[in-house]
Amino acid sequence: MYTINENHLVMVASDRISAFDVILPRTIPYKGQVLNQLAAFMLQRTKDICPNWLVATPAPTVAAGYKCEAFKVEVVVRGNLCGHAWRTYANGKRMLCGALLPEGLKENDFFPAPIITPATKASTGHDEDISVAEIIESGLVSAGDWNEIESYALQLFDRGNHLVRNQGLLLADTKYEFGKHNHRIVLMDEIHTPDSSRFFYAEGFELRQEQGEKQKQLSKEFVREWLIANDFMGAQEDVVPEMTDEWVATISKRYIELYEVLTGENFQPVDLSEQELQQKVEEYLKGRAGQE
């Protein structure tokens, strides 16, 4: 990330991948391009709901926009009982971030209505679950700002589900990050990407639930599941299992598949040298300077 003139931000998406707040040792080809282009696609289609930080994408892996004062909270919206919520539920807990979870649910079942389960946005270490009451009491977000953020988050989740349903998917859960620019709340970072969201295939979903089968999904969860199966959950003593060339290629293929399914467009991989990338960013900044 690069700050330009204190009010502009340029982000270059790398091919690194993380899980359980740990950066894994190998990069995933074209992951950065997939995330950057998919985030831009989704931000463009939700800006009527909530203003966002993005101004332009000067290159396939580059996003440029307004630098915002970030709220140190991740706003996690869940439509289905899966991932962290399911692991909490399976351990017998029925309260998650101040939200009461209904009895009698199976993994991946729909909640009666989407719920918000926030997490702290930690500078270092792991993010931690937090309730809305704790957010307001601690001063992380004012009550007035939280009401606006909550409304935005639920509307964005509804729009995200509408967009992906047209492509045969369900948006099971996702996270949003918000900040302020010129005293107004704006949506930041990437949205509705495999790194921030979990998608299920809609076709056959109900039948798989009835039969107790594993849901077909497009997300980064398969990477987490692989790590858990190999005894890695981010603890200090855990050792990252070997990432073979075949496994790296599989992850890359899954990311590209998700991009194509979500957007309905063919993915066109682009390989730019560092010099070419820098040139495109400099051209954008010169053009931007001429507009200001």
Which pLDDT tens digit goes with each residue over 127-174? 789 999 999 999 999 999 999 999 999 999 999 999 999 899 999 999
pLDDT digits (tens, 9 = 90+) for 228-280: 999 998 888 899 999 999 999 999 998 998 899 999 999 999 999 999 999 99
Q: Summarize pLDDT for 198-208 with one digit per residue, the tens.
A: 999 999 999 99
CATH C-level class of 2-280: alpha beta
Q: Has residue 292 got a pLDDT over 80?
A: no
Would you say residue 124 has pLDDT above 60? no
Q: Which residue has the tokens 């270059």?
A: 12
- The pLDDT value recorded for residue 208 is 97
- pLDDT for residue 150: 97
From the list 279, 112, 262, 116, the residue with the least C-alpha distance to 201 is: 262
Indicate the domain borders of the chain.
2-280
Query: Number of C-alpha atoms within 13 angstroms, CB side, residue 192?
Result: 29
